[in-house]
Structure 1
Amino acid sequence: MTVIQKTLTKPSAPTKAQDATALLRADHKLVSGLFEDYQKASTKSMKKKLVNQICLELSVHAQVEEEIFYPAVKQALKDHEMVPEATVEHATLKSLIAQVEGVEPDGEMYDAKVKVLCEYVEHHVKEEQDEMFPKAKASKLDMMALGEQIATRKKELIAEKG
């Protein structure tokens, strides 16, 4: 089963409760795999299918972080730097997504945009996983409750967008 098939069946599969950072890390890993598949893709149709899946996954992920995770982390940590920076990075990611989502793969500029999106996502993920997630886990946040909220909202968003 390919990564795309796994992601398309994921929303209906029963899932056990996970803490918020575990869910977000799973999203990071999934998208990383999709980018790897893109690099190996040889046809325009496969590239387009992968990019559409990457864009959906990133859009849903960013939205649940902005709606649920970031506000909770900002409040718990009384943070005025890390969360605003991550929010600005999301704005840049959304701009890059808009440049490739629904667009026909047309050669080197398209591939370059996807590569920059991949590198930007890798940078953002590293900061979240190395800085934000450990601080959030060390706080008094109820990571299981946040995880449940994120999982529920993701299902809603995938049903809307997918």
Structure 2
Amino acid sequence: MTTATKTNAKPARKSPAKSATKAAGPDAVSLLMDDHKKLKKLFKEYEKLAKKDDIEGKVDVAMQICEELTVHATIEEEIFYPAARAAIKDDDLLNEAEVEHATAKDLIAQIEQMSGDDPMYDAKVKVLSEYIDHHVKEEEDEMFPKAKKAKMDMAGLAVEMMERKEELMMAMA
């Protein structure tokens, strides 16, 4: 009986801590990863519409992609990256991420100015998709683990990021 009580006591101590963290809301990395998943789905949806030659549909999805990426990049650049830069001290990793954002923004601007029936439209969205896949992989495999290990205030950053995201989305509406 004593062994069972001790065994049960350990998970009971860990469980409330996990529940308290979840009750406090999502953390910054979870929010960013949710955006990554949403973008991946949008790019897949775009691909399906492009194969069907649904110009109106693919343009609608491409504009959603551009908007989501613009907002995502902005909250990373304004909130997450500065906090990560201070906490993890890996300027090369963060500099590369910011350069990747600049290139993605350039492609986004080109896509937003193009007509959906332009012969280069699908190619630009495809390159943007591949570029974002690469960027996401680096963030999720390198930056986010370092940020978590550095004990950044992920809950506080999440609140700030959610508020800023809401502002940006409202401004774009």
Could you tell me the TM-score, scaled by structure 1's length? 0.88
Which residue is 2:26 aligned to?
Answer: 18
Residue type at the aligned position of 2:92: E
Structure 1 residue 32 corresponds to structure 2 residue 32:
no
Which residue is 2:156 aligned to?
Answer: 145
Identity of paired residues, percent?
53
Alignment of 1:11-160 (within 5 A): 17-41=25-49, 42=52, 43-160=54-171
Q: Is the 8 A contact 1:48 1:102 kept in 2?
A: no
Unaligned 5+ runs, structure 2: 1-23
The structural deviation recorded for 1:79 is: 2.1
For 2:148 and 2:39, how far apart are their aligned partners in 1?
Answer: 23
The DSSP-based 3-state class of the residue aligned with 1:119 is helix
Structure with the largest fraction of helix:
2
The structure whose RCO (Cα within 8 Å, separation 6+) is larger is 1
What count of residue pairs does the alignment treat as equivalent?
Answer: 147
Which residue is 1:8 aligned to?
Answer: none
Runs of 4+ in 1 over 4 A off after TM superposition: none
Judge which range, 94-103 or 70-79, deviates more: 94-103
The C-alpha deviation readout for 1:19-39, integer Å capped at 9, x for no partner, is 000000000000000000001
